[in-house]
A = this chain, B = another copy of it.
């Protein structure tokens, strides 16, 4: 509520909730969820750990604020599309890439699925489901299935991404994993052995979108 003119000449030294949240996002991106400690954050902001508690109730409050900020910025960047199907794919890719860039979002969205970020994504998907002329009684279910798939699979994907040690390239990892699959017990894992080659060639983002298309096919069939 302070004067608006102050906003543009914000000083490096002044502590504020916004500066704390931005610093927290940087720390989370750089060091992961475990890297965000009140001590590290205080050092980065050249203050004491206790000072942060003047603006932030606790660590959970800080993570909620960081999540809200990142998701609403990301949704602002999703652009309009020609068809509802294309629009849903755009939203899906936007969510996928945002969570991939900020993997700590996963735990947050999982922990607080009724909060603003999830509602915002749900609303965006729902409008397109409506545009697809899905019967009104099926709209909630269609939008829910899409939301669940988009958010949950994006979270899983981002978790996978962190498994790779930076040393090993993705191609090497897939090669090794595919070999492991091919060498599984023939009686216990016939199917997995069978698709080992397809696994080696697969692209996570493409598989993610293929899943969206399977659901969109189902949604279209339910409408007719």
Contact = CB atoms under 8 A, between A and B. Distances in A.
A119 B192 CA distance: 8
A137 B197 CA distance: 10
A189 interface: yes
A106 interface: yes
Interface residues of A, number: 58
Given A145-B211, A152-B153, A153-B152, A130 B191 contact: yes
A176 to B, nearest CB: 10
Given A123-B191, A218-B218, A202 B113 contact: no
A153 B140 CA distance: 16
Contacts of A156: 110, 113, 148, 151-152
A144 B214 contact: no
Contacts of A208: 148
Interface in A115-148: 119, 122-123, 126-127, 129-130, 136-137, 139-145, 148
A195 interface: yes
A213 interface: yes
B123 A192 contact: yes
Nearest to A112: B163
A215 B221 contact: no
A177 interface: yes
A215 B199 CA distance: 20
A159 B115 CA distance: 13
What 3 pairs across the A-B complex have the smallest Cβ distances? A214-B218, A152-B152, A126-B191
Interface of A: 106-107, 110-114, 119, 122-123, 126-127, 129-130, 136-137, 139-145, 148-149, 151-153, 155-156, 159-160, 163, 177, 184, 188-192, 194-195, 198-199, 202, 207-208, 210-211, 213-219, 221-222
8 contacts: A111-B159, A113-B159, A119-B184, A127-B190, A140-B199, A145-B210, A215-B215, A215-B218
Given A114-B163, A149-B211, A152-B153, 6 more contacts: A139-B198, A141-B210, A144-B207, A148-B152, A149-B153, A213-B218
